[in-house]
């Protein structure tokens, strides 16, 4: 028996190829969207991985520092450092902001890292160029994805910084490049008010009758200009210590909220990128529906164009099964062409996306399965139409 | 009653029921012996197509009897389980418009019914080519239907009707789109094939050009057949 579907496709290959390419571009977008989601999850994991922390200590009852704001006194780390099972503890600040570079600005996650060196939690574990921060002020290490180069100067709030080192794949879970600066500078950037605000605050404080003693006023001014806060304390444990036990003891001793890496990952994936994930999910549903409509429409139209031939096929004794298989195979072929075009276009367009796109083989396999399923279901309408054809129609009136 | 060829006895077909019922066939009686080509003519609405549909096993008659070859296919009800296989193996169809499968070349169009019956492709194609030779279109064996002339298409469709060596061929206006030379050629071919393969052939036609060529002719009027025989034919109620 010859393959009727194959012969028909060869005969009308133009229709199949062009529809397949159109469908393929849709599938390509779908794969890229799935890749964007995978990329965000991957970014979140890399962010946590690169922080070098086993525990995140944050303000009580918050889900900071990435998903919510959190602030802690910057001297708490010492007491945490001395707790059993803790190898290292370091302050860290995170602030997503616009960073000025020459004429334009860059959206970046400015990360304040405490004095120390590579290996200190919060520090970039490795550089692709340049060196780590060695001075306590006005040096920065930036991620390659910011577009900054060694020696570039950038402005964060009121201070200028020189890029001394570059990292790769150090981005926030939103895909914003990270820029590391010394903790003191970062605290200032985050909490320092501008001159007008300081003057205003001083005027208000001075007007308060309760503070009318000059010495008191000076102390208050000094307190107000001090910024003793950080967003989180990153803790690295001794290799032998039990993560949950140490987390619990820090929580009880310091009345702070403590997250393990697994919990932090759940917060990032489940809360921070949940909205994006839902958007992408919606998008996938819409694309799947549109693809299904296209396949159904094309296969249905192609089948209607062959109604007379189908009547003849039935008259000369072709089984319904053979006719259904013919239509189904055509739908599958369309889906396969679409998938191949989609996979190729996704692979080639992914690097040009502004976000990190992670094309996972398992997503491609699932996508291929979904495409075939959609094509199968879409062909049912055409198959129904074909099976309705009365072989008597071939004889005519 | 013959046990070969076609035998139709008091065949009836009523479409619908009650007030809107139409008696398309009231009493059809025909006999066609193997190797014979008979004509079937009648005015519009007289029941020609209905008769072909009943004989072609795609429409169920309302009563009567039909015998194809040595097989009683209908006797006040279908006597055959698998009508699809019956059509495939025992009936060849030739249509007004040749109704070839547009995406198969001439050879595969002819070979298809044979392949559907389970013949290996190579063998079915060899048989198809043989028929295309017999019908003088072998030089167009690789052409698609749209690349063939009307007459060539008709000959390919006759070849398709013959490929499973059915005892019966039903032809519906096979010469309508052809000029008289080609029309007569088609009838000549049908006669040759009928003799060669011992096939009983019924040709439904309106075509004045070919009516004189039939040795036997059936008239159908208001669902009733009348037979006319030979030169200076005379009607005879059956
Ligand atoms: N499916 C149907 N349902 C109801 N009535 C039908 C149906 N098919 C045919 N008829 C009626 O049966 C009668 C015979 O129709 P048929 O098609 O057999 O005529 P015909 O001889 O082939 O005519 P023509 O030469 O115009 O093709 C007509 O009155 C027609 O209206
Ligand atoms: Mg008719």
How far apart are the CA of B237 and the nearest CA of chain A, in angstroms? 26
Asked whether residue A278 is domain-assigned, the answer is yes
Percent of chain A scoring above 70 in pLDDT: 99
Asked whether residue A207 is domain-assigned, the answer is no
Residues that place a CB less than 5 A from ion ligand 2: A 397; B 49
| pLDDT, tens only, A320-356 | 999 999 999 999 999 999 999 999 999 999 888 888 8
Residues A281-291 have a mean pLDDT of 87
Asked whether residue A198 is domain-assigned, the answer is no
Asked whether residue A182 is domain-assigned, the answer is yes
Q: How far apart are CA A348 and CA A353, in angstroms?
A: 10
Residue B1 pLDDT more than 50?
no
Q: How far apart are CA B171 and CA B95, in angstroms?
A: 6
Residues A254-267 have a mean pLDDT of 92
| pLDDT, tens only, B91-135 | 999 877 768 999 999 999 999 999 999 999 999 999 999 989 888
Residues A266-293 have a mean pLDDT of 86
| Residue A140 sits in the same domain as residue A279 | no
Closest residue in A to B113 (Cα) is: A316
| Residue A142 sits in the same domain as residue A239 | yes
Say how many domains are in chain B.
1
Residue B7 pLDDT more than 50?
yes
Asked whether residue B94 is domain-assigned, the answer is yes
Residues B189-195 have a mean pLDDT of 87
Say how many domains are in chain A.
2
Residues B141-160 have a mean pLDDT of 90
How far apart are the CA of A171 and the nearest CA of chain B, in angstroms? 56
- A112 confidence band (pLDDT: 50, 70, 90): very high
Percent of chain A scoring above 90 in pLDDT: 48
Asked whether residue B174 is domain-assigned, the answer is yes
| Residue A160 sits in the same domain as residue A25 | no
Asked whether residue A219 is domain-assigned, the answer is no
Which tokens go with B223?
């669902």
Residues of A in contact with B168 (CB under 8 A): none
Residue A52 pLDDT more than 70?
yes
Amino acid B236: pLDDT: 41
Asked whether residue A379 is domain-assigned, the answer is yes
Residues of A in contact with B53 (CB under 8 A): 392, 395
Give distance in angstroms: CA of B204 to centre of ligand 1: 14
Asked whether residue B1 is domain-assigned, the answer is no
Residue B227 belongs to domain spanning: 6-237
Amino acid A193: pLDDT: 67
Ligand 1 pocket test: which of B23, B47, B96, B173 has the largest number of ligand atoms within 8 Å of its C-beta? Answer: B47
Asked whether residue A244 is domain-assigned, the answer is yes
Residues A382-393 have a mean pLDDT of 91
Cβ pair A10:B103 closer than 8 A: yes
Residue A227 pLDDT more than 80?
no
Ligand 1, closest atom to CA B220? 21
Q: Structure pTM? A: 0.79
| Three-state SS letters, chain A | CCCHHHHHHHHCHHHHHHHHHHHHHHHHHHHHHHHHHHHHHHHHHHHHHHHCCCEEEECCCCCCCCCCCCCEECCHHHHHHCCCCEEEEEEEEEEEEEEEECCEEEEEEEEEECCCCECECCCCCCCCEECCCCCCCCEEEEEHHHCCCCCCEEEECCEEEEEEEEECCCECCCCCEEEEEEHHHHHHHHHCCCHHHHHHHHHHHHHCHHHCCHHHHHHHHHHHHCCCEECEEEEEECCCCCHHHHHHHHHHHHCCEEEEHHHHHHHHHHHHCHHHHHHHHHHHHHHHHHHHHHHHHHHHHHHHCCHHHHHHHHHCCCCHHHHHHHHHHHHHHHHHHHHHHHHHHHHHHHHHCCCCCCCCHHHHHHHHHHHHHHHHHHHHHHHHHHHHCCHHHHCCC
Residue B232 pLDDT more than 70?
no
- A1 confidence band (pLDDT: 50, 70, 90): confident
| Residue A299 sits in the same domain as residue A152 | no
Interface TM-score (ipTM) > 0.85 = yes
| pLDDT, tens only, A264-279 | 999 988 887 888 888 8
| Residue A237 sits in the same domain as residue A301 | no
Residues A18-45 have a mean pLDDT of 90
Residues of B in contact with A308 (CB under 8 A): 99
Average pLDDT of the residues of chain B: 87
| pLDDT, tens only, A158-214 | 889 999 999 998 998 888 999 999 998 898 888 766 777 778 888 888 888 877 777
Which residue has the least CA distance to atom 3 on ligand 1?
B15
Amino acid B233: pLDDT: 47
Residues B37-61 have a mean pLDDT of 91
Asked whether residue B11 is domain-assigned, the answer is yes
Is residue A384 within 8 angstroms of chain B, CB to CB? Answer: no
| pLDDT, tens only, B15-42 | 988 888 899 999 999 999 999 999 999 8
Asked whether residue B231 is domain-assigned, the answer is yes
Ligand 1 neighbours, Cβ below 6 Å, are A 397; B 15-16, 22, 24, 42, 44-50
Residue A22 pLDDT more than 50?
yes
Average pLDDT of the residues of chain A: 89
Ligand 1 pocket test: which of B16, B22, B40 has the largest number of ligand atoms within 8 Å of its C-beta? Answer: B22
Which tokens go with B185?
């050629």
How far apart are the CA of A376 and the nearest CA of chain B, in angstroms? 23
| Residue A234 sits in the same domain as residue A97 | yes
Give distance in angstroms: CA of A311 to centre of ligand 2: 16
Q: Which range has the worst mean pLDDT, A6-15, A198-207, A243-252?
A: A198-207
| Residue A372 sits in the same domain as residue A249 | no
| Residue A18 sits in the same domain as residue A70 | no
How far apart are the CA of A395 and the nearest CA of chain B, in angstroms? 7
Closest residue in A to B169 (Cα) is: A316
Partner B, chain A 316-335, Cβ-Cβ below 8 Å: 316-319, 322
Residue B234 pLDDT more than 70?
no
| Residue A237 sits in the same domain as residue A331 | no
Q: What is the CATH number of the domain that holds B55?
A: 3.40.50.300
Cβ pair B87:A395 closer than 8 A: no
Residue A377 belongs to domain spanning: 2-43+274-394
Residue B235 pLDDT more than 50?
no
| pLDDT, tens only, B201-210 | 999 988 888 8
Q: Out of A1, A12, A315, whose CB is closest to B115?
A: A1
């Amino acid at each position: 028996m010859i393959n009727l579907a194959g012969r028909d496709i060869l005969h009308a290959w133009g229709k199949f190829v062009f529809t397949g390419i159109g469908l393929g571009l849709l599938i390509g977008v779908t794969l890229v969207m799935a890749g964007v989601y995978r990329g965000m999850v991957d970014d979140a994991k890399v962010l946590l991985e690169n922080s070098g922390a086993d525990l995140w200590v944050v303000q009580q009852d918050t889900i900071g520092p990435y998903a919510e704001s959190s602030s802690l006194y910057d001297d708490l780390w010492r007491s945490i450092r001395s707790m059993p099972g803790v190898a290292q503890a370091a302050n860290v600040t995170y602030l997503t902001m616009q960073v000025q570079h020459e004429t334009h600005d860059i959206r970046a996650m400015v990360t304040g890292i405490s004095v120390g060196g590579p290996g200190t939690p919060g520090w970039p574990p490795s550089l692709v160029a340049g060196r780590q921060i060695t001075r306590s002020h006005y040096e920065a290490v930036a991620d390659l994805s910011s577009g900054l180069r060694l020696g570039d100067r950038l402005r964060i709030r009121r201070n200028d910084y020189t890029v001394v080192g570059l990292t790769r794949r150090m981005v926030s879970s939103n895909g914003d490049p990270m820029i590391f600066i010394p903790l003191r500078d970062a605290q200032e950037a985050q909490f320092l008010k501008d001159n007008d605000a300081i003057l205003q605050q001083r005027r208000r404080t001075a007007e308060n009758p309760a503070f009318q003693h000059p010495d008191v006023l000076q102390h208050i001014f000094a307190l107000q200009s001090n910024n003793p806060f950080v967003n989180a304390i990153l803790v690295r444990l001794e290799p032998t210590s039990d993560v949950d036990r140490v987390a619990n003891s820090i929580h009880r001793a310091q009345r702070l909220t403590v997250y393990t890496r697994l919990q932090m990952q759940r917060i990032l994936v489940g809360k921070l990128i949940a909205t994006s994930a839902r958007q992408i999910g919606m998008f996938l549903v819409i694309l799947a529906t549109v693809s299904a409509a296209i396949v159904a429409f094309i296969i249905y139209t192609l089948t209607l164009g062959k109604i007379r031939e189908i009547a003849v096929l039935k008259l000369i004794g072709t089984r319904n099964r053979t006719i259904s298989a013919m239509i189904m195979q055509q739908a599958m072929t369309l889906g396969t062409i679409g998938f191949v075009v989609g996979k190729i276009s996704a692979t080639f367009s992914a690097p040009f996306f502004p976000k990190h796109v992670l094309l996972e083989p398992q997503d491609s396999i699932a996508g291929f399965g979904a495409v075939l399923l959609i094509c199968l279901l879409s062909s049912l309408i055409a198959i129904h139409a074909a099976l309705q054809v009365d072989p008597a129609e071939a004889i005519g009136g | 009653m013959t046990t070969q060829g076609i035998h139709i006895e008091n065949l009836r077909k009523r479409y619908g029921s009650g007030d809107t019922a139409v008696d398309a066939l009231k009493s059809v009686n025909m006999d066609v012996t193997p190797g014979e080509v008979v004509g079937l003519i009648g005015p519009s609405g007289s029941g020609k197509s209905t008769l072909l549909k009943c004989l072609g096993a795609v429409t169920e008659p309302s009563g009567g009897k039909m015998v194809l070859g040595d097989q009683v296919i209908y006797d006040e009800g279908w006597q055959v389980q698998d009508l699809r296989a019956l059509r495939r193996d025992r009936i060849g169809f030739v249509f007004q418009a040749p109704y070839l499968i547009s995406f198969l070349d001439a050879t595969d169009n002819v070979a298809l019914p044979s392949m559907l019956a389970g013949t290996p492709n190579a063998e079915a194609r060899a048989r198809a080519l043989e028929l295309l030779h017999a019908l003088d279109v072998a030089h167009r064996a690789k052409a698609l239907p749209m690349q063939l002339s009307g007459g060539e298409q008709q000959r390919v469709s006759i070849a398709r009707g013959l490929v499973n060596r059915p005892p019966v061929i039903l032809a519906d206006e096979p010469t309508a789109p052809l000029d008289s030379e080609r029309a007569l050629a088609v009838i000549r071919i049908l006669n040759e094939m009928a003799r060669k393969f011992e096939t009983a052939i019924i040709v439904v036609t309106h075509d004045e050009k070919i009516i004189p060529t039939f040795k036997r002719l059936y008239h159908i009027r208001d669902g009733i057949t009348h037979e006319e025989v030979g030169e200076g034919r005379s009607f005879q109620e059956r």
